[in-house]
Every structure is written in C-alpha cells, then in structure tokens.
Chain A
C-alpha cells in the first residue's frame, strides 16, 4: 500500500460507534437535458440523476472478502444491500474487512471513509471511486 496520504487509522472505527450521519459514497452523475435542440418541439425539461454503482465483479469480490472474514455459511445470502452489522460483523471485523479490501484492490482507505461503510455496496462503490482516483 504505497499510499501518498498516510492517514492515521483511528481505532475509533474499532470502537464500533454506530454512525448515524453516513457519508454517501455513491458517485452521482447528474445529467440534465435542457432540451436546447428540442425547444421548438416543446419537450419537457428532463433532469436525470444517475447513481453509478460499482461493477458486479467488484461487488462479488467484496462479498468474498466479507464471507471469509465473518466465516459465513454457504447458504447465508450476501449481496450488495447486506449490512455488515446484520451479517454479524463487530467493529473489529469491519476494520479487518476494510484492510482485506485494501490488500485485494491495492488501495488506501481513509479513516473517515472507512467509518462510513456499512453495506457491501457502499464498500464496492468506495473501492471503485478510489481505483479511479489512482
């Protein structure tokens, strides 16, 4: 992890403080069609907000790491929406999951971002965001 930003890991993340104010790590792409070329046809102005979710492969890798960390039985369903806490992860597990993701993807997760991850999807999205920045 040759990280330029040596961020300090606060074990506050290990202290399992349940964050109510969670940063949304979903990348939002805002597209607005102002309908310039269509004014004569009087089409309504449309605004789309598209959340760019992570690739399925990324989600699958996260699922694998989570499964391994929490030693989940095969029949236990794990998907994007799965919350770490519901899967039985304590604060220590969550930090270790983040560490596993860092190793797997060669990224460095900042303390603040790490604390905001509560579902598989959020982890995957954050990973892709960090990979893109590299």
Chain B
C-alpha cells in the first residue's frame, strides 16, 4: 500500500469538535499566520481544563506516499550525492564553534567580557529578544529535525552510522546545526535579559511536541520542505543580524550573521537536491512542490508552548512580522525565488496534473503578495502582551 492513513484524534472533551486557538485580534501582521499557521487540514486542540497542555496536531497522518519503486531513484543518486552534496559540508577543523563568539572562561578577562556582553544587551529592546528567543527555541528543537529527515524513504540513516552519502549528509548537517542552538543559548544565558527557565521549559515542550511538516516519508516533499526552510532561516537570521547591528551590538550581529551563512550553505545543498529531482523526474517533483505549497510550509516551531501562553507561536510570529525579521512578504519572496531557481515555468513533458501543478505553483507568488498587501493596508496596531520569555514584560505585537 502506497498510502497508510492513521487517523489520530486528540479530542478534548471540553471543546466541541475543535476550536482553533483564538488569534489575537487586531494585530498588524498578516504575518506568519499565512506563512506559519499553515495548518491547512490540520487542527490544533487545546484542553482548557488541563493545565500546561501544549497544543498538538490533529490531522490525518499520511505516511509513505512515495511509490516504493521510486526508492531506487535515491539509491541510484548516491554517487551523485557523494560528489555534489557533501561538498557543501564544511570540515569540522574549518568550522566555527560557539566559543569563538562568547566570553572565554579560561581567560582572566572572562568577567569583563561577560560584563561587556551584558552592557550591549541592555541596549537591545524586549521585542528583539522575544524574536531571538523564538529563533533559539526553534534551533534547539534540532532532534525533531534530524528525526524528520530520517523519516524520509530512500535517504534515511538506517542505523545511525550508515555510510550512504545521504546519511553522512544528514549527520553532518545535524552537527553543524547543533552549534546554532548552543551559541544562541549561551548568548541568551549570559545576556541577563531573558528568563532562561521559561525558555528551557519551552524547548522541552517543543521537542516533546515534535512537528509534522506533512512530508509523508516522501523525499520529494521532504527536500522541498527543507529547501524552503533553510532559505527562511537564512532570511530570518540575516534580519536579526541587521537589527543587532542597528542596536549597536556588533558581536551579536556577528553571531546571527555566522548562523545565517551556515543556513545559506544548507539552502544551496537542499535546493541542489531538488534541482536534480526536477531534472530526472520533473513530474513527480512539480506535483510535490504544488502539494507542499497547498499544505503550506509549516514552521518547525509552530507547536511551541511555554506552559502559559496558548497562542505563543502566533504571538511570537506577530512580533517577528512587525520587526521585519520574518514576514508574510518573505514567505512570498522565498516561494518566488524557488520557482525561479528551479525553473518551474520552463518544465516540459509534464502530465496533465503536472501542468496543473506547474500553473498553480507559478501563479501562487503574486496571489500571496496581493493578499499580503491587502492585509498590510488594513493592519492596525496590535496589543501589548506579556511574554514569559522576558519575565512577563509586555511586548507590542
């Protein structure tokens, strides 16, 4: 069976069927609700009477949607991956480590360095920290992402030490990403501007919740998803770097910029894989692209929860939108970039459904932009709400 459907229903006895978490009303962002709430057919249920229950997905879990014979394609691409994919990894000896950007505990100057870091951080407003924390929490949920990549048929790491180029890539990618969370965690810890315990709690909840990008064990879907995501994180960290510079913290700008550079390299790699798939199997790949866009690209941390705010992700996204760190416009831009990069409009020899998918994908960016522009003109000032990550200080949505 190509498709196995598991209907997993988490029903709260207190709520009728489902009610989506109420979104904050007047806020400026068309946001990421577009780019991020992405829950087309998915539903989120909160239980009102059970305290500290994180939101969870309630949608039909589709698995193994790639026909088994296509697994061969990925086996046959192992040589290609060895020569063309692994080159985008950096040898460990050449890699930066978090310590390169943090006060040196082995040095006598450690305490002064920490003091300087905290002085610089004092100049940075709470709303920036809310977004930085959200980004850090996302990075710290890395176990979820390695897991997700290892759900993909044909490219998974079968043993944890598999020698296939796909597995080598995944492990090394994970190792590189791991530094991002570590670096941001240590920076935030030293900064003194945030409530580490609340943040740590959020991370524990998030890793526990996992995520379902709806990639169905299908590497066509999976690599399109990761291509999009890596570009999104590149954009996002690039913006946090720029803002840090504006607030006068050059070291933080360097931190964010370095992370962004990694994401760029990863984006190049995943985009290359998808480009290859477009080359050898354009029909399946364009169908996969349309499918992922219809389902909307779910942000990895969309189930984030801090034990207090049932709308944490939406609130965080609203701030990220207002600060211009990651916006609905970025979502449209990324999509447009990928459509051009993969030359989707020039694909030939597609089936009827393939052409339909091609039309859908090529026509999607302007539609999203129009929506986003309309929302922008109508947006009104959002409320100020407390974020536990900054000791319940209020931040403008």
A interface residues with partner B (beta carbon < 8 Å):
3, 6-12, 14-18, 20-21, 90-92, 95-96, 99, 111
Contacts and interface: CB of A to CB of B under 8 A. Distances in A.
Which of B34, B43, B374 has its CB near the most chain A CB atoms (within 10 A)?
Answer: B34
B2 to A, nearest CB: 24
B27 interface: yes
18 contacts: A6-B377, A8-B28, A8-B30, A8-B378, A9-B379, A10-B30, A10-B375, A11-B35, A11-B371, A11-B375, A14-B33, A14-B371, A16-B40, A16-B41, A17-B43, A96-B370, A96-B371, A111-B25
Is chain A's binding surface mostly helix, strand, loop or mixed?
A: loop
B49 interface: no
A9 B23 contact: no
B18 A6 contact: no
| Closest A-B pairs by Cβ, 6 of them | A11-B34, A11-B33, A9-B375, A15-B37, A8-B379, A16-B40
A96 B367 contact: yes
A12 B318 CA distance: 12
A91 B42 CA distance: 13
B371 A91 contact: no
Nearest to A16: B40
A8 B40 contact: no
Interface of B: 16-20, 23, 25-35, 37-41, 43, 294, 296, 328, 367-368, 370-371, 374-375, 377-380
A11 to B, nearest CB: 3
Contact of A11 (B18, B20, B328, B367): B328
A20 B16 contact: yes
Given A8-B379, A20-B18, 11 more contacts: A7-B378, A9-B379, A10-B30, A11-B35, A14-B371, A15-B34, A16-B41, A17-B20, A18-B43, A96-B367, A96-B370
A9 B33 CA distance: 10
B33 A15 contact: yes
A9 B371 contact: yes
B111 to A, nearest CB: 47
A9 B23 CA distance: 11
Which of A10, A12, A91, A95 has its CB near the most chain B CB atoms (within 10 A)?
Answer: A10
Contacts of A8: 25-30, 375, 378-380
Contact of A95 (B16, B40, B371): B371
A12 B20 contact: yes
Contacts of B380: 6-8
Contacts of B35: 11
A11 B39 CA distance: 11
Given A15-B296, A20-B18, A95-B371, A10 B23 contact: yes
Contacts of A17: 20, 39, 43
Contacts of B18: 20
Given A20-B17, A90-B40, A14 B34 contact: yes
A12 B302 CA distance: 13
B332 to A, nearest CB: 11
Nearest to B331: A11
Contacts of B29: 8
Contacts of B375: 8-11
Contacts of B378: 3, 6-9
Contacts of B28: 8
B58 to A, nearest CB: 12
A7 B32 CA distance: 17
Contacts of A18: 43
Contacts of A111: 25
A16 B59 CA distance: 13
A111 B374 CA distance: 12
A92 B368 CA distance: 8
B314 to A, nearest CB: 8
Nearest to A112: B25
Which of A7, A9, A16, A91 has its CB near the most chain B CB atoms (within 10 A)?
Answer: A9
Contacts of A11: 30-35, 37, 328, 371, 375
B16 A9 contact: no
B33 A12 contact: yes
A10 B18 CA distance: 19
